[in-house]
């Protein structure tokens, strides 16, 4: 029977260098503990004669990542935890890689991989790719025991739970801090990792500046045109966004509401300088107040928790017909009938003018518009003033996004 590891070396640091397969930026235990108290990011490596487990912690962002290693020092598993409740973390996602040989590179594109994404209600998505990026993948949606996805928040210095992840480690393992508290620390200019950051709004102010010139991928230099999208009637003030061809009774409004009323809609259209006939809708703004916002936040529907989002992810409304629309939640049923009976007319009018309003004949309407590059998923942002009042809603077609954006459902 194999002898279990009964002692682990503890090294506090900025993070892990996958090239040298070693820690980066050594930290004293005191410095790491202070960062932990203040929610600042740090890392801790548990090792023997090789790395065993790496923790990446940033409590200010509610994040704790855990990595496992093989005998070659390659990372083989990742556990993504989020602090969603006092004293508890939720297992949001796991990833696993299997290597064919000792020489295969870490995260090689041909490596066997499986990713599992969990939700607090126990629903999950598993994506299995036996040949990595060079073969097909299988998607399944197993139901799991939601209670098993929660764990206590790891207290600083109490890293003896390592046996739960590595069967070679004894449940009664001892810990030995390896950095001399008197030794000089080795800071780094930039940590080798950062906690996952959801998509943030990008250039929304520039988007609605007439004649502003910007550079857009695949279009080059563009000039902004701001057009009227008409008026949206909001009997309840409960806004929602959707594809006008796929309205249904289950469509939920955003949790942040406006006062009932009628509001102007503006379109930000970008025109390619080198090809003036090439135009795209970059954004659609529902104007609640006629002044600039001082802050932005994502528009969320019931049950959506931004703390569960990964790098560059967002909650968006889906588009399958190349069009989106804004409407009051009370108009969904009536406009579903209008869209079914007048779909061709809607397409023609929106194609000609980039946006068009449609009346349901019952005092409600919607404003439909072309959706950026076409089908996909798009976020809606809420602008607030310094007093916290809602100033506007902006449907962002992501033409001006600085970074790649992805919806949680697109992880496969």
User: 65 is written with which tokens?
Assistant: 């990542």
- 256: nearest Cα among 236, 239, 242, 241: 239
| 151 and 89 Cβ atoms separated by less than 8 Å | yes
Task: Give residue-wise pLDDT tens across range 252-281.
Answer: 999 999 999 999 999 999 999 999 999 999
Q: What is the largest CA-CA distance in the chain?
A: 78
Q: Does 186 reside within a domain? A: no
- Give residue 102's pLDDT band: very low, low, confident or very high (50, 70, 90): very high
Q: Does 76 reside within a domain? A: yes
State which H helix or E strand residue 378 sits in: strand 376-378
d(CA 4, CA 371): 58
Q: Model-level pTM greater than 0.85?
A: yes
- Whether 252 and 152 map to the same domain: the answer is no
- Whether 146 and 223 map to the same domain: the answer is no
Last residue of a domain, one of 177, 194, 228: 177
- Whether 164 and 298 map to the same domain: the answer is no
- Whether 232 and 112 map to the same domain: the answer is no
Which pLDDT score is estimated for 183? 57
- Whether 168 and 217 map to the same domain: the answer is no
- Give the pLDDT mean for 165-176: 93
pLDDT of 1 strictly over 70: no
- 83: nearest Cα among 115, 39, 114: 39
d(CA 331, CA 238): 10
pLDDT of 238 strictly over 50: yes
Which pLDDT score is estimated for 57? 98
Q: Does 187 reside within a domain? A: no
pLDDT of 209 strictly over 90: yes
- Whether 39 and 160 map to the same domain: the answer is yes
SS3 28: coil
How many domains, the chain? 2
- Whether 147 and 18 map to the same domain: the answer is yes
Q: Does 403 reside within a domain? A: no
Q: In terms of pLDDT, which residue wins out, 131 or 346?
A: 131
- Whether 128 and 237 map to the same domain: the answer is no
Last residue of a domain, one of 177, 193, 218: 177
Which pLDDT score is estimated for 185? 64
Which pLDDT score is estimated for 266? 96
CA distances (Å), origin 73, targets 4, 27, 70, 114: 19, 21, 5, 20
Across the chain, mean pLDDT equals 92
pLDDT of 189 strictly over 70: yes
- Whether 215 and 258 map to the same domain: the answer is yes
- Whether 255 and 344 map to the same domain: the answer is yes
Q: Does 60 reside within a domain? A: yes
d(CA 354, CA 371): 9
Domain that holds residue 99: 5-177
- Give residue 206's pLDDT band: very low, low, confident or very high (50, 70, 90): confident
- Whether 11 and 150 map to the same domain: the answer is yes
Q: Does 241 reside within a domain? A: yes
| 7 and 19 Cβ atoms separated by less than 8 Å | no
Q: In terms of pLDDT, which residue wins out, 247 or 395?
A: 395
Which pLDDT score is estimated for 141? 98
Burial label for 281, CB within 10 Å (0-12, 13-18, 19+), is buried
């Amino acid at each position: 029977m194999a002898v279990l590891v009964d002692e682990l070396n503890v090294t506090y640091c900025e993070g892990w260098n996958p090239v040298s397969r070693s820690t980066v930026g050594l930290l004293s235990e005191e410095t790491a503990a202070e960062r932990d108290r203040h929610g600042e990011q740090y890392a801790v490596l548990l090792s023997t004669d090789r790395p065993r487990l790496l923790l990446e912690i940033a409590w200010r962002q509610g994040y704790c990542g855990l990595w496992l290693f093989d005998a070659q020092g390659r990372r083989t598993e990742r556990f993504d935890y989020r602090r969603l409740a006092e004293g508890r973390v939720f297992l949001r996602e796991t990833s696993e890689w299997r290597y064919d040989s000792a020489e295969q590179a870490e995260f090689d594109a041909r490596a066997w991989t499986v990713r599992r994404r969990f939700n607090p209600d126990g629903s999950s998505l598993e994506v299995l790719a036996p040949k990595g990026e060079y073969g097909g993948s299988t998607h399944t949606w197993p139901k799991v025991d939601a209670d098993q996805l929660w764990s206590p928040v790891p207290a600083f210095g109490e890293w003896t739970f390592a046996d739960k992840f590595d069967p070679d480690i004894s449940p009664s393992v001892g810990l030995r801090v390896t950095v001399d508290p008197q030794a000089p620390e080795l800071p780094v200019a930039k940590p080798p990792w950062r906690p996952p950051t959801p998509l943030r709004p990008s250039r929304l102010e520039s988007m609605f500046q007439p004649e502003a010139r910007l550079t857009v991928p695949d279009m080059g230099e563009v000039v902004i045109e701001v057009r009227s999208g008409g008026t949206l009637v909001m009997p309840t003030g409960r806004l929602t966004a959707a594809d006008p061809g796929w309205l249904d009774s289950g469509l939920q409004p955003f949790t942040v509401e406006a006062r009932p009323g009628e509001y102007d809609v503006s379109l930000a259209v970008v025109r390619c300088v080198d090809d003036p006939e090439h135009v795209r809708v970059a954004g659609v703004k529902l104007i609640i107040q006629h002044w600039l916002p001082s802050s932005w936040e994502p528009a969320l529907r019931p049950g959506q928790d931004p703390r569960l989002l990964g790098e560059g992810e967002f909650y968006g409304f889906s588009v399958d017909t190349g069009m989106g629309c804004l409407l009051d939640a009370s108009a969904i049923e009536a406009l579903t009938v209008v869209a079914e009976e007048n779909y061709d007319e809607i397409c023609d009018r929106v194609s000609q003018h980039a946006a068009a309003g449609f009346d349901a004949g019952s005092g409600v309407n919607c404003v439909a518009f072309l959706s950026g590059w076409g089908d996909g998923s798009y976020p809606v942002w809420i602008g607030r003033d310094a007093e916290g009042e809602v100033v506007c809603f902006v449907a962002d077609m992501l033409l001006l996004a600085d970074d790649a954006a992805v919806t949680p459902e697109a992880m496969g």
